[in-house]
Amino acid sequence: MPSEPADGIDRRRLLKGVGSASVAALAGCAFDDTSDLADGETDGSSGDDTDEPTTVRLLHDTHLHGSMGDLEESLNVANYFGLMADQAAAAPEGNALVVGNGDDLHTSVESSVFDGEHMVELLNASPLAYDTFGNHEFDNGPASLRENVADSEFTWVSANVRDDRTGEVFAAEEGAKRYALEEIDGVRFGITGLAPADTPDVTSVGEHVEVRDPETAAEAVVADLRDEGADVVLLLSHLASPVAADLVAAVDGIDVAVGDHAAMVYDEPKEIDDAVVSVVGDEFEYVGQLDLDVGSDGVTDHSFERYDLDAQVEAEDVDPHEDVRSLLADYQRELESELDVVIGETDVPLDARTETVRSEESNLGNWLADVVRADVDADVALQNGGGIRSDQLYEAGELTRRTIVDILPFPNRTAKLEVSGATLREAIERGVSAVAEGHGRFPQVSGMAYAYEPDAPAGDRVEAITVDGEPLADDATYELATNDFVASGGDGYEVLADADVLVPADEGTLLSALAIETIREEAVIAPETEGRIEIV
C-alpha cells in the first residue's frame, strides 16, 4: 500500500469513453514555427467559467524495456496495468490520463523474438494513451519502429525526433505526432515528448532520422502548444533527470514533466520554477500518480502517490488487467516455443562450468567479454564470472535462444566507464580476491590480460596486467566495458561505483539479447582460450 490511499485513473485514452471527460485530440507534425493540426477542431474553450479548479489524475509508467514479466511473479505487465486501471477507476470525476516516457519496446529476450510487436499489443490492451520515443525504441532500426507505430492504438508524440527528408515527426505517416491536444473536463492538455540528444550515437536510428537539440525543440513546441490554447503543457521526457531538470528550468511554459533516461526514483516530485517533475524508476517497479488541480491560471496544486507494485501485489491490492493478462499468457506460451529456435552454432565446446568461470579463463567468458566490449566500443572489458550461469560444458553444435537465456538469465545490460589504470588494477585485484570461495566476482576479460597467484594474500594476488599487449599504466585512462551490476559496485567491485559513466546501462544492451543477436549475425562461433588469464 502507499503511505496514504490515493485515487486512480481510468481505462484507455479517457478510458474508452468511461468517465465524464470530453475528449478532443489535436496534433501537430511540422517542425517549423507553425503547427499543422490534425484530428479535428476544438471550440477554443479552456476550462469552465467557474473559479473551482478541475482535478485531473495523471498516471505515468516506468520504462518497460520490452519485458513482459512472468505471470508467476508479481512484476508483470498484467499486474502493472491492473494497478493503473484500479487507480484510473477512482479518478475524480473520471478525469484521468495514462502516459509513458519511452524505452517500452526494447530491449529484452522477448523483443529479440517478437521485434517489439508484443509490447505494442500489450500496450494497446492497457490504459496507455500516449508514449514517446526513447533511445531503445530504435534498437531494431527505423523500419521496425515505423511498423510498431502503425500498429499502435495509443499515440506516439515527439518534439525532437524527425524525418530529415520531410521535416515532420518521425513516423508521421504511421500516426506519430509532434504533439497532441487533449481536452479533459474542459482542461486542454498539450502533450509532447523528448528523446535524448545522443540517441543516434547509441542505437540504430538509420540514415534519415534526426534528433534535434531537446531544449531548442522544447521551446518551439511549447510556444505552439500555448498558441493552440493548451492550459497544461505535459512533457513525456526520456532525458536523464539532471538534463530534464535543466531543460524545465530553461524553457518557460512546461507545467509537468514525467519520465527519465535511467532508473532514477524521486520520493516526491520536484518543483522547478512553476513545473512539477516526477520520476518513478524502471521496469514495473512503481506507478506514479499525480493529481493535478487546474484552474484558470494552469496547474495550481498537486498531490502525489507512488505505488510499489511488488508491495501492492503482496497485499492483494491489485487485480490483474484481464485483457493484458490473457495476451501475456499467450505470449509466454509462444516464447517458450520460440526459445527453442536455433540461432547459430558453435564449432567448439563452450565452457560455462561454474568452477571454470569463477577461477580461470573460459572460452565462453572470452567471447562474452569481447561481445560486451564491442557493444560499447571500449578499450577493455570485464565480465564477472558469476553472471555466467547454467554450470554446463556445451558440446559443439547448434545453439538455441534457450541456451543463451540459461547462460545469461539476469537482466544485466552493458555499460561503459572511464577508469584510471590504478582503478582497473584494483578492480582486477578485487576480482581475484575470493577465488577459493568460488565467488562470482572472478573477472573474465577482453582487451587485456592478467596473471595472478591464487595462494597469495587477498589484495596482493595480481602479478601483472597488460592492455593491448602493453603493461597497464596506473596514471593512464582506460574505457572499461562491463555490465550494470558490476558498474554499480556489485560483486565486490565497489571501486568502480564512483567511476565516470560514459555509457549508462539504460543506453546499453541486455546481455542475453546482445549474445543472441551476435550469434545470429556470426552464424558460427569458435571462441578459444588465449592466455588472457594466467595462474602462477
Domain assignments of the chain as residue spans, ordered by start:
12-335, 341-535
pLDDT given at position 37: 42
- The answer to whether residue 45 scores a pLDDT higher than 60 is no
Between 25-29, 169-173, 197-201, 363-367, the lowest mean confidence (pLDDT) is in 25-29
Q: What is the mean pLDDT of residues 226-230?
A: 97
341-535 sits in which CATH class?
alpha beta
List of E strands, 145-285: 155-156, 161-163, 179-184, 187-194, 209-211, 232-237, 256-258, 270-272, 275-278
In this structure, the number of other CB atoms found within 10 A of the CB of residue 425 comes to 18
Q: What is the dihedral of CA 525, 526, 527, 528, to 10 degrees?
A: 180
- The three cell numbers of residue 279 are 520520476
Between 201-205, 238-242, 345-349, the lowest mean confidence (pLDDT) is in 201-205
- Would strands 533-535 and 524-525 be described as parallel, antiparallel, or unpaired? unpaired
- The answer to whether residue 308 scores a pLDDT higher than 50 is yes
Contacts of 443 (CB under 8 A, 6+ apart): 382, 383, 384, 385, 427, 428, 431, 432, 450
| Distance from C-alpha of 233 to C-alpha of 223, rounded to nearest angstrom | 10
Q: How confident is the model at residue 12 (pLDDT cuts 50, 70, 90)?
A: very low
In one-letter notation, the amino acid at residue 304 is F
- Identify the helix (H) or strand (E) that includes residue 9: none
CB 137 within 8 A of CB 104: yes
Q: How confident is the model at residue 50 (pLDDT cuts 50, 70, 90)?
A: low
List of E strands, 102-186: 130-131, 155-156, 161-163, 179-184
The strand pairing partners of 291, in sequence order, are 57, 303
pLDDT given at position 10: 30
Q: How confident is the model at residue 195 (pLDDT cuts 50, 70, 90)?
A: very high
- The answer to whether residue 24 scores a pLDDT higher than 50 is no
Nearest Cα to 260, choosing from 309, 195, 206? 195
Identify the residue with better confidence: 535 or 38. Answer: 535
Q: How confident is the model at residue 506 (pLDDT cuts 50, 70, 90)?
A: confident
Contacts of 186 (CB under 8 A, 6+ apart): 22, 45, 46, 47, 48, 54
Q: What is the mean pLDDT of residues 195-221?
A: 92
End-to-end CA distance of the chain: 56
pLDDT given at position 18: 31
- The three cell numbers of residue 49 are 467559467
pLDDT given at position 1: 36
- The three cell numbers of residue 379 are 578499450
In this structure, the number of other CB atoms found within 10 A of the CB of residue 492 comes to 18
- The three cell numbers of residue 282 are 524502471
- The answer to whether residue 36 scores a pLDDT higher than 70 is no
- Would strands 524-525 and 286-295 be described as parallel, antiparallel, or unpaired? unpaired
Contacts of 462 (CB under 8 A, 6+ apart): 425, 428, 429, 432, 450, 451, 452
Q: What is the mean pLDDT of residues 263-288?
A: 92
- The answer to whether residue 262 scores a pLDDT higher than 80 is no
| CA 268, chain centre distance (Å) | 21
Cis check: omega of the bond before 55, within 30 degrees of 0? no
**SS3 label, residue 299:** strand
Q: Mean of the per-residue pLDDT values for the chain?
A: 89
- The answer to whether residue 198 scores a pLDDT higher than 90 is no
pLDDT given at position 410: 81
| Distance from C-alpha of 7 to C-alpha of 47, rounded to nearest angstrom | 22
pLDDT given at position 447: 98
Between 3-17, 225-239, 318-332, 443-457, the lowest mean confidence (pLDDT) is in 3-17
- The three cell numbers of residue 244 are 530534464
Grid cell 582503478 in the structure block, residue: 423
> What CATH number was assigned to the domain covering residues 12-335?
3.60.21.10
CB 36 within 8 A of CB 118: no
| Distance from C-alpha of 325 to C-alpha of 340, rounded to nearest angstrom | 24
| Distance from C-alpha of 441 to C-alpha of 386, rounded to nearest angstrom | 6
Q: From the CA atom positions of the chain, what is the Rg in Å?
A: 25
| pLDDT (tens digit per residue) in 109-126 | 888 889 999 999 999 999
Q: How confident is the model at residue 526 (pLDDT cuts 50, 70, 90)?
A: very high
pLDDT given at position 3: 35
The strand pairing partners of 344, in sequence order, are 399
Contacts of 511 (CB under 8 A, 6+ apart): 368, 372, 387, 408, 410, 412, 413, 414, 483
Q: What is the mean pLDDT of residues 503-524?
A: 93
Identify the residue with better confidence: 306 or 107. Answer: 306
**SS3 label, residue 446:** strand
Q: Which residue stretches of 387-497 are H helix?
A: 401-407, 421-431, 484-487
- The answer to whether residue 412 scores a pLDDT higher than 70 is yes
CB 274 within 8 A of CB 255: yes
- The answer to whether residue 85 scores a pLDDT higher than 80 is yes
- The three cell numbers of residue 284 are 514495473
- CA torsion through residues 166, 172, 178, 183, sign: positive
Identify the residue with better confidence: 276 or 17. Answer: 276
- The answer to whether residue 31 scores a pLDDT higher than 60 is no
Percent of the chain with pLDDT over 70: 90
| Distance from C-alpha of 144 to C-alpha of 140, rounded to nearest angstrom | 6
Identify the residue with better confidence: 37 or 299. Answer: 299
- The three cell numbers of residue 127 are 490504459
